Amino acid sequence: MAQRLTHAERKEQTRTGLVASARRVFLDRGFHGASLDEIADAAGYSKGAVYSNFAGKDDLFLAVLDAHLAQRARVLTDLVHKEQRLAGAYHAVARAISAADASEPRWTPLLLEFWTYASRHEALRSIAREHRERFLGVVANLIEELGARHELAFAIPAKEIARGSAALARGMALERLLNPAGVSAALFEQMHTAYVNGLTRPLRDIRPARSKGGKHDDRQHPVSGTRDGGAAGVRRRARRA
């Protein structure tokens, strides 16, 4: 005899089904082309079920986005924990990003469509930014974990490395839409590893600079490797100047 689900379990099941169906419809139709009626029908629910779980299409897309980013984060986390060598981790991450983009070429255009729409609505832009920054924070933690494990310093804060990595991946994904043969996975791997390697330094190569008084200036940012707290320090020094 099958065990009956609780109300909370049924609600979560409905929500999960709606998010999965919404992802498929959004990818097929685009953000603006998709309708809540179509999404509900694809999931086997009424439109009322959508509104009992989400405030509207914007809220539903954000749930789709969160699920997508959570899956990406799990893949990257597994790779970072699995690869013992730094070079192996950098190359594995680049290959995973490229493979994910190649398997769903419509995701990047969909994301840009939503971002463009959200950028025109202040409240939604703020919410979308929070979701994005949360994911970049997860990736930044992985970068910092690599830095601690391999005794590395980074030229810029880990979160900005994550942001640049995502921007590179997004740009190359768009290039691949127009020129699939010219934008290969191997090319992206080479570009991405060059990007992260260019921002990586062994801690032993970072030497404290001497101040005007002849003393060492030890105010190095522990993660970025920049003195006086990175960008914040630059601003402070600019104000002092």
Whether the per-residue pLDDT at 239 is higher than 50: the answer is no
Average pLDDT over residues 83-111: 95
- In the chain, pLDDT over 70 holds for what percent of residues? 84
Domain spanning 8-54 has what CATH number?
A: 1.10.10.60
Whether the per-residue pLDDT at 1 is higher than 70: the answer is no
Integer CA distances (angstroms), 231 to 87, 155, 157, 166, 219, in order: 27, 11, 9, 20, 13
What stretches of the chain show up as alpha helix (H) in DSSP?
7-29, 36-43, 47-53, 57-82, 86-103, 107-118, 122-150, 158-178, 185-198, 231-240
- Under 8 Å between Cβ of 196 and 205: no
pLDDT of the residue at 204? 83
Whether the per-residue pLDDT at 234 is higher than 70: the answer is no
- In the chain, pLDDT over 90 holds for what percent of residues? 78
Calpha distance 141→183 (Å, rounded)? 29
Work out the pLDDT band at 196, boundaries 50, 70, 90. very high
What pLDDT digit, counting tens, does each position of 128-157 carry? 999 999 999 999 999 999 999 999 999 999
pLDDT of the residue at 213? 56
Whether the per-residue pLDDT at 81 is higher than 80: the answer is yes
Instruction: Enter the tokens of residue 15.
Output: 């929500």
Whether the per-residue pLDDT at 3 is higher than 50: the answer is yes
N-terminal to C-terminal alpha carbon distance within the chain: 76
How many Cα atoms occupy the beta-carbon half-sphere of 46 within 13 Å?
3
Domain ranges of the chain: 8-54, 57-208+218-240
- Under 8 Å between Cβ of 89 and 79: yes
Domain spanning 57-208+218-240 has what CATH number?
A: 1.10.357.10
pLDDT of the residue at 17? 96
